[in-house]
Amino acid sequence: MKFYRNYGWILLLLFVLCDGGMPYLLGGMWSQFSQAHQVVSDLGSVTSPVKNYFEHGSILTGSLLLVSLPAIKLYFAAPIFQAMRREIFWLLLSIAAFAIGDCIFTGVFSIDHTTSGLTLATMIHGLGSGAGILGMLAAPLLLARIFKPINATFAKICGLIFLGALLSAGANGLSQLFAFSYKGIIQRVSLVFLYLPLVALALKMQQRWPKSRN
């Protein structure tokens, strides 16, 4: 428990850094990959030269986010949050959905662009990613509800993040549906808003639990 109190917030930031930075690192290893015109999941397609790195990286980052869940649960175990147990449960579930659906499933089930129609792996990949994104869309709204009686300013910030996440996710879905040329840029913007609730929560956790001097 002492580890989670001192370093749990770092696990969240480490996940954001690793998961958010991986597409740029792997994209740099694939000369034909375009950050502006291609979506992140293309890095894990069956024709990608960095497929194995992407798969292993996605599984590792998803596992890292799952490992951070006990720290979040411990943080919200404080008596001041007891009236928000239901919202806290759904927050943990939404983050777990993102870790499993949008990270681990992405690494396990690859998209196949070489065949016509949908393969089972592509369907599972899409459904898992969709469930994970819905989970993280709910996260800032849940944080806003949890903190509203405690810290109205932080709750408003989470509400604005939710609005940005909702709008950018909608734009991301439409850009991929209609094969917009710059769909890669729109997806990256959407991902920023999905990561922001985790960054905001990590900073709140760090304020409450400063690193021990002992």
Q: How confident is the model at residue 25 (pLDDT cuts 50, 70, 90)?
A: very high
Average pLDDT (167-183) is 94
Each residue of 135-166: b (16+ CB within 10 Å) or e?
bbbbbbbbbbbbbbeeeeebbebbbebbebbe
Q: How confident is the model at residue 114 (pLDDT cuts 50, 70, 90)?
A: low
Q: How confident is the model at residue 187 (pLDDT cuts 50, 70, 90)?
A: very high
Residue-averaged pLDDT of the chain: 90
- pLDDT, position 108: 83
3-state SS class at 130: helix
- pLDDT, position 129: 82
Instruction: Quote the pTM value.
Output: 0.90
Average pLDDT (159-177) is 95
Q: What is the dihedral of CA 192, 194, 120, 69, to 10 degrees?
A: 130
- pLDDT, position 115: 62
Quote the CA–CA distance of 167 and 64 in Å, as a whole number. Answer: 27
Question: Over pLDDT 70: what percentage of the chain?
Answer: 93
Residue 9: CB atoms within 10 A of its CB come to 26
